[in-house]
Amino acid sequence: MAPKEFIVAIELGSSKMTGVAGKKNMDGSISILAVVKEDSSSFIRKGVIYNIDKTAQCITNIVKRLTTQLKTSIVHVYVGVGGQSICSNKNVIVKNLPADTIVTQEMVNELMDANRNMSYQEQEILDAATQEYKVDNQYQIDPVGIQCTRLEGNFLNILWRKEFYRKLNKCFDIAEVAIAEMYLAPLALADSVLTDAEKRSGCALVDMGADTTTVSVYYKNILRHLAVIPLGSNNITKDIASLQMEESQAEEMKLKYASAWTDNSDIDNSLMLSIDGERSVESRKFIEIVEGRIEEIIENVWFQVPSEYVDRLLGGIILTGGGANLKNIETAFRNRTHVEKIRIARFVQQSISAKDPLINSQNGMMNTVLGLLAKGDMNCAGQEINGDLFNNQHPAANNQQAAQTREPRKPNEIEPGVVITEAEKQKAEEERRRKEEEEEAQRQREIEEAERRQRELEEAERKKRKENSGFKKIWGKVKKLVGDAITEDE
């Protein structure tokens, strides 16, 4: 029987595109229903889409293969955004206040809005992580209710290239696959592999991919820095290939012989490593090539850790991704960074049940897509398919169904790490304008009602004065007649 409810997540990686469908259970665990993988090395480089048509075709293949396994149509999918297209940028917004001013939530919101309205050349803000507020000379997480004359907001803006956004949406439009939500992949990954203690005490998460290495620094549960380095495990393979061999042979040698750290006393100068059964390479030369590239990657990773947090990484360095499977990688990081606490996150923290070997291998290569799956909360299942896949409902109809069934998100319901699509931005802007118009109309009605009541009060006052004036005239005449009568009697 086909499942009626499931969530679908797609990760667009530099070496592979992965699609996963899973069902969330009542106990919080996730049951994996289907996993598919397609090679993406020819059209996605360093996390950036280079060939729109091939990317769209790959997305179509992923969705079709998942649909076949699930025997149910897919109305929308969750997508992770990452790669070299994203970076972080610190920003400070200052507001000078009159003396004896108490900070209100409205003042804080004004700072956040001013930060959101910052413009960057060829880039736009995806997400903004509030670092802390400086109230006069004191740093505070929540400044509301504090008296001060100067309020300063420190923000970490996560940016991406507008061109990448356009290409990404174009690919899914061509593939006729609706996007339920776009998440920042590094943030979804961090939520799935880092513990609360690591985020709180300070840590650096290093996701070692094929073409890129992503560095995320956390302290006091706040993202402090995010950077993507254009170096990955494929660079090691290409360096090995410089020994006059095919990249496929170099990849095999890397998986078989490569080590991120080898003690000099353990190197055998007479040892030769076989390349293809006929040729061989000196062991020392091979080790020098591998370690040289690893050293470069580690130095770049450590350079990305802001100086003010170097001594605050009490949670240590957490390694994940395919590159973290390299032998002695912990030793290499420990020796280069002098951080003793090194952990390899080979799997997510959520309870996952699956039969697929890609999931059960727990080698860190599926952590990001599983993190995206864990973030999803909307049912991606459509109609059950009983016959031939290609004779059933067209994906475009699924898009229409998704648009009809999905409730639009409200701006204040958008959680950190969510990438807001252009259509959602327009909806949010329309909703904001509509709300402002309704509020203005309500204010106008209140003003008109107040004016009406004022007129009624004034009219009643005039009537009262008029009545009092008439009474006074009559009373005056009565007094005069009485006075005249008394005079005559006398």
* Residue 271 dihedral angles phi and psi, to the nearest 5°: -75, 135
Q: Is 82 helix (H, G, I), strand (E, B) or coil?
A: coil
Predicted local distance difference test score (pLDDT) of residue 390: 47
- Topology of domain 7-85+163-191+350-433, CATH: Nucleotidyltransferase; domain 5 (3.30.420)
- Sign for the pseudo-dihedral over CA of 117, 308, 232, 355: negative
pLDDT digits (tens, 9 = 90+) for 314-342: 999 999 999 999 999 999 999 999 999 99
- Topology of domain 197-344, CATH: Nucleotidyltransferase; domain 5 (3.30.420)
Q: Which letter does DSSP use for residue 338 in this model?
A: -
DSSP secondary structure string for all residues of 364-419: STTHHHHHHHHH--S--EEEE--S-GGGS--HHHHHHHHHHHSPPPPGGGPPTTEE
Break the chain into its structural domains and give their ranges.
7-85+163-191+350-433, 87-160, 197-344
- Topology of domain 87-160, CATH: Dna Ligase; domain 1 (3.30.1490)
Residue from 12, 63, 14 nearest 34 by CA: 63
Determine the Cα–Cα distance for residues 49 and 310; give it in Å rounded to an integer: 34
Predicted local distance difference test score (pLDDT) of residue 163: 84
User: Given this chain, do its domains 7-85+163-191+350-433 and 197-344 carry the same CATH topology?
Assistant: yes
| Antiparallel, parallel or unpaired: β 418-419 and 179-184 | antiparallel
206 beta partners: 215, 319
Predicted local distance difference test score (pLDDT) of residue 408: 43
DSSP secondary structure string for all residues of 18-52: EEEEEEE-TTS-EEEEEEEEEE-TTTEETTEE--H
| Antiparallel, parallel or unpaired: β 381-384 and 72-74 | antiparallel
Contact of 7 with 330, CB cutoff 8 Å: no
Q: Over the chain, what is the mean pLDDT?
A: 86
Two tokens, residue 103: 């900070």
Q: Is 200 helix (H, G, I), strand (E, B) or coil?
A: helix
Torsion of CA 202, 206, 207, 212, to 10 degrees: 130
What b/e sequence results for 17-39 when a residue is b if at least 16 CB atoms lie within 10 Å of its CB, and e otherwise? bbbbbbbbeeeeebbbbbbbbee
- Residue 223: in which H helix or E strand, if any? strand 222-229
Determine the Cα–Cα distance for residues 83 and 227; give it in Å rounded to an integer: 9
Determine the Cα–Cα distance for residues 168 and 175; give it in Å rounded to an integer: 11
Give Cα 232 to chain centroid, integer Å.
Answer: 22
Give Cα 173 to chain centroid, integer Å.
Answer: 21
Determine the Cα–Cα distance for residues 174 and 60; give it in Å rounded to an integer: 9
| Antiparallel, parallel or unpaired: β 342-344 and 316-320 | parallel
- Considering the entire predicted model, what is its pTM? 0.79
Residue from 307, 267, 314, 309 nearest 290 by CA: 267
Q: Residues in the chain with pLDDT < 70?
A: 1-3, 386-429, 467-490
